Structure 1
Amino acid sequence: MDDVEANVSEVVDESNNINSESYDAAENNEQNQSKKESDNKEETIVASQTIVTDEPTHSIQEFIDNSEALGYKKEVVAGALFSCKKSELTKTEFEAMVKEFLGKKVE
């Protein structure tokens, strides 16, 4: 009788170990999946930052000289870039500054 109880006890212990291993494996899989998603988000952020830095820069004078081609009068571009601290800008930065300048109310 003791042998039967010992065998039953061993089977129960083995079953618990298998369930525990399965649970641990599932938990590790979830952690790995979460880490992969986090890595993908970091790659996306880095990629989007790289795109912005790859944009060519132009001097303020180039923007003023070519203002008509960009769709603005020289006076507008000169006013928008008057207080600019940078000597060179990307086209995206330039457009943001001009839109902000044009959005201001005249007092």
Structure 2
Amino acid sequence: MAGEPQSDCLFCKIVSGAIPATVVRETETTVAFRDINPQAPTHVLVIPKVHYPDGASLAVAEPGIAADVLREAGQIAADEKIEEYGYRIVFNTGAGAGQTVFHAHAHVLGGRGLQWPPG
């Protein structure tokens, strides 16, 4: 059922504490942790504690929690001191776009020049 933890989901297991992560922030509705394969000097994932397969489905079902994810992404940028220089918030949707964990999540990337268009 949408929103409920999935037993085979890596990020649901991080939310529950079954799999460790380097958590940098946690709120009632979100968890933010360092990416294990960083693509920039700062690369933090912000995930909702509820399970939805991607950002669009999260926004439709739980718009308040989707807003929480974005608000936390901005707070991470401030905490990591990349806010002034610039940073990117990325939601990959679908395997063709590079999504590998099908639990909504935002990548917060910064700390170096970020060319456009990306990769």
TMscore range, shorter length: under 0.3
State the structure with bigger RCO (CA 8 A, min sep 6), 1 or 2: 2
TM-score of the aligned structures, taking structure 1 as reference length: 0.26
| Larger relative helix fraction | 1
| Larger relative strand fraction | 2
Structure with max Cα Rg: 1
